Amino acid sequence: MTTDQDRVLIFDTTLRDGEQSPGATMSHSEKLEIASLLDEMGVDIIEAGFPIASEGDFNAVAEIAKLAKSATICGLARARPKDIDRCWEAVKHANSPRIHTFIGTSPQHRAIPNLTMDEMAERIHETVTHARNLCDDVQWSPMDATRTEWDFLKRTVEIAIKAGATTINIPDTVGYTAPVESADLIRRLIAECDGGEDVIFATHCHNDLGMATANALAAVAGGARQIECTVNGLGERAGNTALEEVVMALKTRNDIMPWTTGIDSTRIMHISRRVSTVSGFVVQPNKAIVGKNAFAHESGIHQDGMLKSSDTFEIMRPEDIGLAGTSLPLGKHSGRAALRAKLKDLGFDMIDNQLNDLFVRFKALADRKKEVFDDDLIALVTDAAAAGTEDHLELKFLRVICGTEAPQSADIMLRVGDADKQATAQGDGPVDAAFNAVKALYPNDAVLQLYQVSAVTEGMDAQATVTVRIEEDGKITTGQSADTDTVVASVKAYVNALNRLIVRHEKLGSGGDMPEVSYKDMS
Ligand code: KIV
Ligand code: ZN
């Protein structure tokens, strides 16, 4: 792939590095949906998964490869022929396929496969050559590049280029580098490596010191022409470079960073909400660009300034990221056409039976809530999407007794498989009682890791969004739900997390000869 000198390629790894974040597991259909949104918004390369990791990853990458219209579809592979073959089998269906192979080159990572420098150099030569024999577009990464000795890094990069790699990615795997160093490293690699001018250098940053966006942009100043990033900065630990931050930084400060991307920034808000919902990772309110408060100007002075001129405090316009201007809320007299139009404005194109189903839910909500705001509707749509038709568990009925007098108790009916089952349980508060009742109907050893409640809108009648993260046998899943009743939202979120856990166990159980592997498993 060639590029103009002022064009920066956006490589999105939400579905690979982002999804690898504990608890962020997405279902097959969710991955396909996110991939379509990334493709439509103009992402140049989508890293769709790690095909050798599991049967589920393989199938997702293969299907995304078939559905992508304009993006290059990339799969990750360790430096092993078997990984690379499996990766090729998945990506080969794409109009534009890419194999991304990597090996840890820093002293810390070299110790894991226990290879000498010479053995590692030989492995890089063999595996990049192997990948290049299968695919014209090969990306190679020296994992933990920013902690690799300069001489060895240069040597490995030159070997990969000579073996046919077309993109060289420089990962800051542990978020260790800083902007000046990030720019210098890329500049030096381009200038000093044999063949450095003939390939594209990419930057892949993690946010452990809060510098991922700054480091990525500095790398571009140093000559990198591909930024690797994730929506909402999703990723392990403190996450990866956030797509929305680099895109909007390049757009807003093009005067001092004269590089462009192919991203339609008006799609940012919609994909941010979808990734937040399907991953279960709530966006912090003060998150740059996509946080709830990013465009809210609450203080009196700010509001006064904003009324006089919006550029007093705003450096970007909300509509640039697809945030619709203030729009009138819907209410119980609003009809189907108004609902359809509003959903379209918010980025949701509904087919007729989806709209019918949503209209029933909307009416029920409008009966309980005088004004239904945009965020209420988004919560309603995402709640409907979260409850899959093939789910093993479904909440049918819930009544709780709570208050100052203990014991609090919950009476619950769940569909478990094909049968409706009922149980009553007590607990320390209504949520605990309700979760105990779910456990009585569907015994499990899942440990609650996170329980988080946030209000969807303001006001006493606001809906609550509840996020629940659970862990069983090292598998972590997250569930989310919204309702005007916090206990109902809590139980639905818990049930949602359990359904995802069931799918994960089933998927691994039927994985055949494909054990779940991690890209960190280098042995
Ligand atoms: O952070 C990292 O080093 C990675 C590589 C696999 C590219 O994600
Ligand atoms: Zn990474």
Residue 390 has a pLDDT of 74
Instruction: Kindly state if the Cβ of 56 falls inside 6 Å of ligand 1.
Output: no
| Structure confidence at residue 302 (pLDDT) | 59
Task: Provide mean pLDDT across the span 3-29.
Answer: 91
Ligand nearest to the CA of 143: 1
Tokens of 369: 């809530």
CATH of domain 393-509: 3.30.160.270
CATH of 9-172+244-279, one of 3.30.360.10, 3.20.20.70, 3.90.25.10, 3.30.450.20: 3.20.20.70
Average pLDDT value for residue range 8-25: 94
Q: Do domains 9-172+244-279 and 393-509 have the same CATH topology?
A: no
* Whole-angstrom distance, CA of residue 158 vs CA of residue 223: 17
> Per-residue pLDDT for 510 more than 60?
no
> What are the residue ranges spanned by the domains of the chain?
9-172+244-279, 293-322, 324-386, 393-509
The predicted structure's pLDDT at residue 303? 59
Reported confidence tier of residue 389, pLDDT bands at 50, 70, 90: low
Query: What does R_g of the chain's alpha carbons equal in angstroms?
Result: 24
DSSP result, 392-405 = SEEEEEEEEE-SSS
pTM of the model: 0.86
411 pLDDT band, cuts 50/70/90, is: very high
pLDDT digits (tens, 9 = 90+) for 29-86: 999 999 999 999 999 999 999 999 999 999 999 999 999 999 999 999 999 999 999 9
Residue 143 CA: nearest ligand 1 atom is 3
User: How far away, in angstroms, is 227 Cα from ligand 2 center?
Assistant: 12
Q: Which atom of ligand 1 is nearest to the CA of 240?
A: 1
pLDDT higher than threshold 90 for residue 432: yes
Q: How does pLDDT run across 270-313, given as a tens digit for each residue?
A: 999 999 988 989 899 999 999 988 987 655 555 566 666 677 77
With bands split at pLDDT 50, 70 and 90, how would you rate the model's confidence at 517? low
What is the whole-number distance in angstroms between the Cα of residue 204 and the centre of ligand 2?
Answer: 7
Percent residues over pLDDT 90 in the chain:
68
Q: What is the pLDDT of residues 116-129, one digit of tens each?
A: 999 999 999 999 99
Nearest CA to ligand 1 atom 5: 143
Contacts of 326 (CB under 8 A, 6+ apart): none
Specify the residue with its C-alpha closest to ligand 1, atom 1. 173
Instruction: With cut-offs at 50, 70 and 90, classify the pLDDT of residue 459.
Output: confident
Q: Is 504 in the pocket of ligand 1 (CB under 6 A)?
A: no
Centre of ligand 1 to C-alpha 327, Å, is 42
102 lines ligand 1 (CB under 6 A): yes
64-94: buried (b, 16+ CB within 10 Å) or exposed (e) per residue?
A: bbeebeebbbbbbbbbbeebbbbbbbbbebb
CB of residue 202 inside a 6 A radius of ligand 1: no
- Using CA atoms, how far residue 476 sits from 13, 279, 462, 466, in Å, is 20, 11, 29, 17
C-alpha 24/C-alpha 206 separation (Å) is: 17
CA atoms within 13 A on the CB side of 461: 10
Ligand 1 binding pocket includes 240 (Cβ within 6 Å):
no
For the segment 301-358, what is each residue's pLDDT rounded down to a tens digit?
555 666 666 777 789 999 999 987 656 789 888 888 888 888 887 778 778 888 888 8
Q: What confidence score (pLDDT) does residue 350 get? A: 79
Q: Give yes or no for residue 228 CB within 6 A of ligand 1.
A: no
What pLDDT, on the 0 to 100 scale, is given for residue 120? 95
Mutate to test the pocket of ligand 1, among 47, 78, 143, 522 (most ligand atoms within 8 A of CB): 143
What whole-number percentage of the chain has pLDDT above 70?
92
For a mutational test of ligand 1's pocket, the pick from 141, 201, 206, 518, i.e. the residue with the most ligand atoms closer than 8 A to its C-beta, is: 141
pLDDT score recorded for residue 516: 55
Residue 519: CB within 6 Å of ligand 1? yes
Checking if the pLDDT of 12 tops 90, the result is yes
Atom of ligand 1 nearest to the CA of 104: 3
Strands 447-455 and 464-472: antiparallel
